[in-house]
Amino acid sequence: MRIAVGSDHAGFPLKQVLAAYLAELGHLVDDMGTDTEDPVDYPAYGAAVGEAVASGRADLGLCVCGTGIGIGIAANKVRGVRAAVVHDVTTARLAREHNEANVLCLGGRVVGAEVAREAVTTFLAAEHAGGRHHRRVEEIASIESGGPVHALGASAPASGRARA
């Protein structure tokens, strides 16, 4: 697979570890930076990874900042991106199976390299479970394009239910 990777300074060391790991696994790594531990702002790097994925130039993305949160929020601003912050193999697996995440986000200051490698392996191996999970992903896409959330039913939030 072609995988776009990006980080800020806080995520740089872990990004380097994971980029090398992805290459070892045989993936094509498209590194969007940053390239040092000099302080930079994470939004541009999250957006660059998100745009690579949304445009189809990359199959999946990997973002790393201090927590994974800021860079993930930035990546999620790109239409079509579903960036998920994960902390372990379980959240990495469920991010694919339930949320069809296409960008994996990790926190270089909160997750160790071994856990991060296992999370990446798991994320790449997991498959979207489809069914009701696919419907929910489509609902997210509908929100993103300004459309309605079409499946409001018994499980909808109270404020969204029709009242008799």
Q: Which two tokens stand for residue 93?
A: 């697996």
Q: Is 160 helix (H, G, I), strand (E, B) or coil?
A: helix
Going by C-beta distance under 8 Å and a sequence separation of 6 or more, which residues neighbour residue 113? 14, 17
Do the beta carbons of residue 71 and residue 26 sit within 8 Å?
Answer: no
Q: Does 10 bind ligand RB5 (CB under 6 A)?
A: yes
**At its nearest, how many Å lie between ligand RB5 and the CB of residue 5?**
15
Q: Is 50 in the site for ligand RB5 (CB under 6 A)?
A: no
**Is residue 70 a contact point for ligand RB5 (CB under 6 A)?**
yes
- Pick the closer one to ligand RB5 by CB: 27 or 107: 107
- What is the residue whose two structure tokens read 């302080």? 39
Which residues, in sequence order, are bridge partners of residue 6?
63
Minimum Å distance from CB 106 to ligand RB5?
11
Looking at the chain, list the stretches that DSSP marks H as alpha helix, in order from N- to C-terminal side.
12-24, 43-54, 69-76, 89-97, 113-125, 132-144
DSSP state of 93: H
Residue of the chain from 14, 32, 52, 65 that contacts ligand RB5 (CB under 6 A): 65
Q: Is 98 noted as a catalytic residue in this protein?
A: yes
| Residue 66 in the binding site for ligand RB5 (CB under 6 A) | yes
Return the number of the residue (3 or 74) whose C-beta is nearest ligand RB5.
74
Residues within the interface to ligand RB5 (CB under 6 A): 8, 10, 42, 65-67, 69-70
**Active site positions, annotated:** 65, 98
